[in-house]
């Protein structure tokens, strides 16, 4: 052997000569899940109806009586407790703020017989603001929206709703953005904040209406607080997700440049997450408007009052007109905030057109707006919107159309209801609710471990223990079956329509306004057509929940798929993939984070509708909560049901999150099996 041979480095191995990759045989989690269900079903056949923990509707347990006692203690301490006095002071502040704005633009400011600024002045100012922060199209949209409020006879109610919404959203942003930054920056803070958000978003609105009345009073204060609680989670969740999603490479580059935490946050992370933060703001506004009807239960001002009064009379047309105006308001605010964000980003990049000409236009139109304000103070026709017959005429037409739909489509909707009920709802409910409680708990725990391993198992154990503790296990399992079916349908719609919107801009233009409409219609409005078409019962409640939850999930999936890098898509197309492969192998996997967030939001919105579904025969926990609100002697049962719904929501949410995390770890592990043959494990 020569020296040259000894000094020569060993040749690199030829990948083509490597032995075939032997991957360990791992049983798919779906086969494991099927095995769990089969074993569960066999045992269910043996023990059906045994130890289901079903309780009579009016039965009061010791725990429920203790919860009712807590309410009595709060009432007794209203005049002496510092905490209650503080909350009432906060409520009084909200009332004062609302009254000031209301007398400014909505109701007569006596001895003045009209508001300080009449409808013409308010419309002119709002139009000018739309022009200043966005563009001419938004200004026209704002002007037409405000005119429609008066044209259909709901000017004061619309202004009251705007005031409540803006106060609640302003407080939500002040509180939510710091919490979103904290959540995105600290893993320790993320877990407790996420649990708190789950509690705020899944606690049925009827459950926290009574505590709000106890601690803050009725009227504008109660309306602002309940709207704030419901509207706060979206801005925190979505803004935190946007900040966390900023490229780690970009963050590392800023760190290497010596930027401080705050410099990196305000100069890099928040600007790059602007689009996602605007989505969170939009969702917060939509959530605030969707609370309009429910806030009316605590004498909250706004368009919710006429909607609620019409629903009590089962007047579809009477509920449709103010509900339509809520939708108009939502679309107006959504388009305005989105356009303002796009313009700000365009200006930051050096665009925005001729600035001098823009300032001239804003100056001229600003003077015109001030003239309109002056006229609205001194001319009756500009101060109070003239009465018209547009509202009553539209109500009559809607009622006629509703009668026609009910008469002509009753047989088709009945067939759909029967098929879904007999083939999906009834079998699932029987398996969950008629199994012994210990068997159902073991089955749920096994499925949690299969999909999410220990990350899902631990919270599932805690939540199931809590559900058992609050003495409503049987009702909880019935509700769980409804929630699972509704959430599954929501996610199917989200994936199909979301991908379609992301891949076809024209589809996005058509569907997004429809989604905005579906998202902000007051929840009670969904119940009228659902009950008319499908009759009272579980299916009507599920349909209402799907319509309410689907829009936010669809938009999140669409935005996530749309955000996939075009270069990545082009690279995949260069390899000759089909459209189906591109969607399933590239776009959906890379939008995993948005899809998980969509599933989370869809689930929570479905749960928020559970109580409302109880009003139309949904039964189970929803009926328990409604019973507790309507009858003071059943308050303890209603509170226990509300807490149980929260536990259900947290449990399902943690299982879904853990399953997504396990899938991500499997994906990373698969890429490391053989560096020369990287591929994704099926």
Highest mean pLDDT among 242-251, 257-266, 547-556, 663-672: 547-556
Residue 39 has pLDDT above 90, yes or no: yes
Segment of 8-17, 36-45, 103-112, 308-317 carrying the highest mean pLDDT: 36-45
Cα–chain center distance at 609: 11
- Asked if the peptide bond before residue 111 counts as cis, ω within 30 degrees of 0, the response is yes
User: Which range is most confident: 282-286, 336-340, 464-468, 513-517?
Assistant: 464-468
**Residue 363: predicted pLDDT:** 92
Residue 47 burial by Cβ neighbours in a 10 Å radius (0-12, 13-18, 19+): middle
Q: Is the pLDDT of residue 128 over 90?
A: yes
As a whole number of angstroms, the distance between CA 84 and CA 95 comes to 16
Helix count (H) and strand count (E) of the chain?
Answer: 33, 0
Confidence of residue 512 (pLDDT cuts 50, 70, 90): confident
pLDDT of residue 562: 86
Name which of 270-274, 435-439, 476-480 the model is least confident about: 270-274
149 pLDDT band, cuts 50/70/90, is very high
Find out whether 636 and 67 touch, Cβ atoms under 8 Å. yes
Task: Tell me the pLDDT band of 667, cut-offs 50, 70 and 90.
Answer: low
Q: Average pLDDT for residues 162-173, to the nearest whole number?
A: 91
pLDDT for 181: 87
pLDDT greater than 90 at residue 258 = no
pLDDT at 351 over 70: no
Gap between the Cα atoms of 165 and 292, Å rounded: 9
Q: What is the pLDDT of residues 19-38, one digit of tens each?
A: 444 444 445 778 888 999 99
The count of other CB atoms within 10 Å of the CB of residue 570 is 9
CB within 8 Å of 50: residues ≥ 6 apart? 436
Which of 151-160, 397-406, 533-542, 624-633 is least confident? 624-633
What pLDDT is stored for residue 55 in this prediction?
Answer: 82
CA 428 to chain centre: 26
Q: Region 243-258: what's the mean pLDDT?
A: 76
Other CB atoms within 10 Å distance of the CB of residue 642 = 27
Is CATH 1.10.3720.10 the classification given to domain 62-104+164-349+401-671? yes
Proportion of the chain above pLDDT 90, given as a percent: 21
Residues 236 and 180: beta-carbon distance below 8 Å: yes
Positive/negative CA dihedral, 161, 551, 270, 186: positive
- Asked if the model's pLDDT at residue 682 lies above 70, the reply is no
Overall average pLDDT of the 176-187 stretch? 86
Residues 6+ positions from 223 with CB-CB distance below 8 Å:
164, 291, 295, 298, 299, 300, 301, 302
Is the pLDDT reported for residue 6 higher than 50?
Answer: no
- What pLDDT is stored for residue 503 in this prediction? 87
In this predicted structure, the answer to whether residue 421 has a pLDDT above a threshold of 60 is yes
Please state the rounded mean pLDDT for residues 186-198: 81
Give the confidence band of 152 by pLDDT, cuts at 50, 70, 90: very high
User: For tokens 């929570």, what's the residue?
Assistant: 604
Q: Which residues contact 149 (CB under 8 A, 6 or more apart)?
A: 155, 158, 159, 325, 328, 329
In the predicted model, what is the mean pLDDT of residues 635-647?
A: 84
Per-residue pLDDT of 397-415, as tens digits, reads 888 887 887 788 777 878 8
pLDDT at 355 over 90: no
* Residues sharing a CB contact under 8 Å with residue 278, sequence separation 6 or more, in sequence order: 337, 338, 341
Q: What does the pLDDT read at residue 680?
A: 37
- CA-closest candidate to residue 430, choices 59, 30, 40, 32: 40
**In the chain, where are the structural domains located?**
62-104+164-349+401-671, 106-151+353-388
Q: What is the pLDDT of residue 681?
A: 36
Average pLDDT over residues 511-525: 72
pLDDT at 4: 45
Any residues with CB less than 8 A from the CB of 441 and at least 6 apart, and which?
Answer: 464, 468
Tokens of 392: 């009553």
Q: In terms of C-beta density within 10 A (0-12 exposed, 13-18 middle, 19 or more buried), how is residue 500 classed? A: middle
Residue of 501 and 665 predicted with greater confidence: 501
pLDDT recorded at residue 673:
45
Tokens of 210: 């009574």
Q: For 41-68, what is the mean pLDDT?
A: 87
| Mean pLDDT on 423-446 | 92
pLDDT for 120 equals: 93
340-360 mean pLDDT: 74
- Mean pLDDT computed over every residue of the chain: 81
Candidate ranges 43-52, 567-576, 595-604, 669-678; pick with highest mean pLDDT: 43-52
Mean pLDDT of the 443-451 span: 92
Residue-wise pLDDT for 286-337, tens only, equals 778 877 667 777 778 888 888 878 877 777 788 888 888 888 888 888 888 8
* Rounded CA separation 119/104 (Å): 11
Give pLDDT tens digits for 57-75. 777 888 888 888 877 777 7
Lowest mean pLDDT among 128-137, 168-177, 348-357: 348-357
Task: Tell whether the model's pLDDT for residue 16 goes beyond 60.
Answer: no
Q: Provide the percentage of residues in the chain whose pLDDT is more than 70.
A: 87
Mean pLDDT score, 617-646: 80
Q: Measured between alpha carbons, how far is 380 from 120 in angstroms, rounded to an integer?
A: 10
pLDDT at residue 369, as a whole number: 92
**Does residue 239 register a pLDDT over 90?**
no
Position 207 scores a pLDDT of 65
Across 457-466, average pLDDT? 94
Residue 652: band (very low, low, confident or very high) from pLDDT cuts 50, 70, 90: confident
Task: Copy the structure tokens of residue 224.
Answer: 């602002």
Distance CA 662, CA 354 (A): 52
pLDDT at residue 496, rounded to an integer: 92
Q: Is the pLDDT of residue 494 over 60?
A: yes
Whether 616 shows a pLDDT value over 60: the answer reads yes
Within 13 Å of residue 633, how many CA atoms lie on the same side as its CB? 4
- Report how far residue 477's alpha carbon sits from residue 656's, in angstroms, rounded to the nearest whole number: 18
What pLDDT sits at residue 23?
A: 45
């Amino acid at each position: 052997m020569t020296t040259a041979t000894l000094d020569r480095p060993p040749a690199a191995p030829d990948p083509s000569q490597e032995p075939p990759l032997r991957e360990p045989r791992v049983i798919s989690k779906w086969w494991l899940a099927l095995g769990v269900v089969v074993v569960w079903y066999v045992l269910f056949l043996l023990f059906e109806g045994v130890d289901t923990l079903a309780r009579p509707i009016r039965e009061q347990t010791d725990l429920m009586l203790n919860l009712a006692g807590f309410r009595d203690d709060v009432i007794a301490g209203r005049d002496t407790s510092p905490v209650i006095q503080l909350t009432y002071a906060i409520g009084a502040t909200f009332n004062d703020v609302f009254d000031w704005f209301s007398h400014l633009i909505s109701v007569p400011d006596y001895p003045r017989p009209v508001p300080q600024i009449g409808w013409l002045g308010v419309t002119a100012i709002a139009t000018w603001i739309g022009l200043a922060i966005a563009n001419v199209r938004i200004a026209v949209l704002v002007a037409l929206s405000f005119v429609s409020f008066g044209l259909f006879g709901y000017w004061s109610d619309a202004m009251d709703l705007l005031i409540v919404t803006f106060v609640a959203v302003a407080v939500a942003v002040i509180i939510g953005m710091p919490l979103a930054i904290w959540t995105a920056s600290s893993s320790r803070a993320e877990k407790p904040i996420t649990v708190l958000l789950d509690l705020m978003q899944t606690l049925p609105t009827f459950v926290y209406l009574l505590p709000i009345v106890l601690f803050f009073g009725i009227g504008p204060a109660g309306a602002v607080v309940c709207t704030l609680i419901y509207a706060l989670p979206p801005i925190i969740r979505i803004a935190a997700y946007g900040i966390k999603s900023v490229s780690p490479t970009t963050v590392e580059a800023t760190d290497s440049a010596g930027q401080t935490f705050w410099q990196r946050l305000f100069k890099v992370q928040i600007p790059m997450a602007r689009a996602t933060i605007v989505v969170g703001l939009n969702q917060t506004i939509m959530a605030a408007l969707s609370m309009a009807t429910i806030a009316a239960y605590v004498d909250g001002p706004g368009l919710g009052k006429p909607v609620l009064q019409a629903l009590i009379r089962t007047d579809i047309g009477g509920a449709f007109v103010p509900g339509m105006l809520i939708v108009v308001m939502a679309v107006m605010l959504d388009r305005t905030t989105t356009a303002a964000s796009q313009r700000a980003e365009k200006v930051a990049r050096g665009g925005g057109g001729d600035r001098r000409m823009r300032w001239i236009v804003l100056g001229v139109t600003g003077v015109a707006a001030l003239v309109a304000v002056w006229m609205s103070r001194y001319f009756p026709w500009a101060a109070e919107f003239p009465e018209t017959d547009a509202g009553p005429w539209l109500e009559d037409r809607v009622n006629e159309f509703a009668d026609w739909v009910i008469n002509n489509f009753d047989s088709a909707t009945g067939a759909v209801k029967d098929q879904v009920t007999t083939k999906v709802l009834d079998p699932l409910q029987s398996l969950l609710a008629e199994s012994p409680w210990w068997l159902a708990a073991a089955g749920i725990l096994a499925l949690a471990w299969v999909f999410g391993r220990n990350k899902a198992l631990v919270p599932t154990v805690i939540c199931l223990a809590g559900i058992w503790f609050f003495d409503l296990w049987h009702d909880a399992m019935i509700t769980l079956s409804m929630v699972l079916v509704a959430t599954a349908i929501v996610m199917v719609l989200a994936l199909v329509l979301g991908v379609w919107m992301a891949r076809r801009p024209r589809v996005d233009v058509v569907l997004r306004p429809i989604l905005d409409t579906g998202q902000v219609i007051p929840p009670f409005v969904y119940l009228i057509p659902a009950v008319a078409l499908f009759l009272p019962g579980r299916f009507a409640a599920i349909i209402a929940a799907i319509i309410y939850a689907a829009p936010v999930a669809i938009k999140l999936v669409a935005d996530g798929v749309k955000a996939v890098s075009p270069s990545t898509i082009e690279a995949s197309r260069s390899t000759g993939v089909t459209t189906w492969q591109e969607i399933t192998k590239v776009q959906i996997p890379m939008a995993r984070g948005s899809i998980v967030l969509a599933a989370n939001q869809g689930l929570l919105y479905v749960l928020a509708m559970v109580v409302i579904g109880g009003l139309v025969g949904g039964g189970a926990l929803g009926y328990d909560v409604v019973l507790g609100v309507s009858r003071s002697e059943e308050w303890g049962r209603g509170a226990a049901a509300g807490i149980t719904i929260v536990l259900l929501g947290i449990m399902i949410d943690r299982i879904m999150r853990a399953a997504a995390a396990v899938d991500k770890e499997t994906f990373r592990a698969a890429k490391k099996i053989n560096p020369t043959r990287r591929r994704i494990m099926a």
